[in-house]
């Protein structure tokens, strides 16, 4: 069974100090406010309300951690974690909230040594924004990343392919990290498109990092 199907809510952290010890591999979902991060986590973990998704931008305001576990529930051992992060770029967010994002999700990306991969969730209709580029620059070079082009169901087939090609062209070479390539699956949480591809990519990155 896929490790991702064992996901359970583990903790919420409103500051880096509240995070559990930096020992298990963690994979973070990042992206603009309302892009579809929480919905993507639910689709990938095949759960309806593991991460809280909402039409209201700015819904996720802390780091939410989900434990991926092996074994029966009585003595299940946590092997790795998924992290849902607050979205950035919500135009109406007060400055204080924007600073809080920078201090929380931004610092998490730059400082968390157990970060083993990042999934950047991008609404396919928007392409990469200046904030997405800034975020990609923050991710340490050795950390692999994938760009989930979500809400692909909102575009017709040809438009989807055009948008995907545009994002590929927008991506600067350094933004792919040391892996040199960046997977960019077309994704839809509602139609379950790209879910298997995302799951395979995530699992291979989580298991590539030895658990200390």
Ligand X SMILES: Nc1nc2c(ncn2[C@@H]2O[C@H](COP(=O)(O)OP(=O)(O)OP(=O)(O)O)[C@@H](O)[C@H]2O)c(=O)[nH]1
Site string for ligand X, 75-114 (x = CB under 6 A): -----------xx---------------------------
Instruction: Quote the CA–CA distance of 130 and 96 in Å, as a whole number.
Output: 20
Q: Does 64 bind ligand X (CB under 6 A)?
A: no
Which residue from 1, 17, 55, 94 is in contact with ligand X, where contact means CB under 6 A? 55
Q: Does 59 bind ligand X (CB under 6 A)?
A: yes
Which residue from 24, 27, 39, 148 is in contact with ligand X, where contact means CB under 6 A? 39
Instruction: Quote the CA–CA distance of 202 and 2 in Å, as a whole number.
Output: 10
Q: Which residues contact 175 (CB under 8 A, 6 or more apart)?
A: 133, 136, 137, 145, 182
Instruction: Quote the CA–CA distance of 64 and 62 in Å, as a whole number.
Output: 6
β-strands 25-31, 115-123 pairing? parallel
Q: Does 151 bind ligand X (CB under 6 A)?
A: yes
Decide whether 46 or 59 has the Cβ nearer to ligand X: 59
Instruction: Name the residues that contact ligand X, by CB under 6 A.
Output: 31, 33-39, 53-55, 57-60, 86-87, 150-151, 153-154, 188-190
């Amino acid at each position: 069974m896929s490790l991702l199907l064992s996901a359970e809510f583990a903790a919420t952290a409103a500051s880096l100090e509240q995070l559990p010890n930096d020992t298990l591999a963690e994979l973070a979902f990042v992206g603009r406010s309302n892009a579809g991060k929480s919905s993507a986590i639910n689709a990938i973990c095949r759960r309806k309300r593991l991460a809280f998704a909402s039409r209201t931008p700015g819904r996720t305001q802390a780091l939410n951690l989900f434990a991926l576990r092996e074994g029966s529930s009585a003595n299940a051992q946590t092997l790795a974690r998924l992290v849902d992060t607050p979205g950035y770029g919500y135009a109406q967010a007060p400055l204080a909230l924007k600073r809080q994002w920078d201090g929380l999700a931004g610092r998490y990306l730059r400082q968390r040594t157990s970060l083993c991969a990042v999934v950047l969730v991008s609404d396919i209709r928007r392409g990469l924004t200046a904030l997405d580029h800034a975020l990609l620059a923050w991710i340490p070079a050795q950390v692999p990343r994938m760009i989930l082009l979500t809400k692909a169901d909102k575009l017709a087939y040809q438009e989807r392919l055009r948008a995907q090609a545009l994002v590929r062209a927008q991506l600067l070479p350094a933004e792919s990290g040391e892996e040199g390539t960046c997977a960019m699956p077309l994704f839809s949480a509602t139609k379950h498109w790209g879910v298997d591809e995302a799951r395979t990519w995530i699992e291979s990155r989580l298991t590539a990092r030895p658990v200390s």
